[in-house]
Amino acid sequence: MSAVDYGLAAGVLLVTYSVNLLYITVFYHRAFTHGGIDLRAGVRRFAWMTSKWVTGLDLKAWVCMHRIHHRNADTPLDPHSPSHVGVFGVALAQLRAYREISDGLARGEPQLCAVVEDLGGDLHWLTRSGAWFTGTAVHLGLAGLTGMACGSWLPGAAYLVGMSSHPLQGWLVNSLGHAVGSRNFDTPDQSRNNRVAAWLVWGEGLQNKPGGPCPAGDTEIDAIPAITRGDRLKTARRR
């Protein structure tokens, strides 16, 4: 393995990690979940159509899960709080919650559908058809082509790691951002400012903000479902 191979791998990893993070942070989180970014109609359609292919995550299901998290941050109804599942348990909890919510939306569960009613549209056709592995297969193929083009398997592996990095990004924010770090504001949740997560996830590790777990601009919902520790759907009503 030469220095060129390592350099190419580092470059590929940086680019693919950034593309994945761009979709999650800018599109999924800021634009679609909280409405903090007003996307042009064409950009919005582009993000909606390509999101599942790029990240492997259904945009509508992700937004639904994240809104539930914000409305119930660090309570027993939070789908992935380290306060209830531990720092390392967050990784599995967020996966279980995403699957549960994705399946519930596919079944047309009215309580879940109400959470993302403002988005319109439907789940991505890959989600509806159960062909979630199609996007993964495409990325495996592209990783192979990247390795072949670079003459080394390492850049190909770097491509796959970068494009599959959201579980790590999500774990950093949802675990360290709610368990390890400083607190500038006395909020009802356990949000923290974790610099490691902030550096690796474009500032998302700075979770402790004024206004509590549901920041200004978040979609107002009167009754939303949440995943409990027993993986049962319940309704969490705003007080």
* Model pTM score: 0.86
Residue/partner pairs of 235-239 with CB below 8 Å, 24 or more apart? 235/111, 236/68, 236/71, 236/72, 236/75, 236/77, 238/71
For residue 23, what are its two tokens?
Answer: 């979709």
pLDDT tens column, 7-37:
999 999 999 999 999 999 999 999 999 999 9
pLDDT tens column, 99-125:
999 999 999 999 999 999 999 888 998
DSSP state of 206: B
pLDDT tens column, 194-231:
999 999 998 888 888 876 544 434 443 333 343 333 33
Under the banding of pLDDT at 50, 70 and 90, the label for residue 239 is very low
pLDDT score, position 121 = 85
Domain residue extents for the chain = 3-237
- 3-state percent helix, strand, coil for the chain, nearest multiple of 5: 60, 5, 35
**Rounded Cα–Cα distance for residues 20 and 197 (Å):** 16
For residue 36, what are its two tokens?
Answer: 């903090």
What percent of the chain is modeled with pLDDT above 90? 75
What 3-state DSSP class applies to 86?
Answer: coil
Under the banding of pLDDT at 50, 70 and 90, the label for residue 133 is confident
pLDDT score, position 231 = 37
**Rounded Cα–Cα distance for residues 103 and 82 (Å):** 24
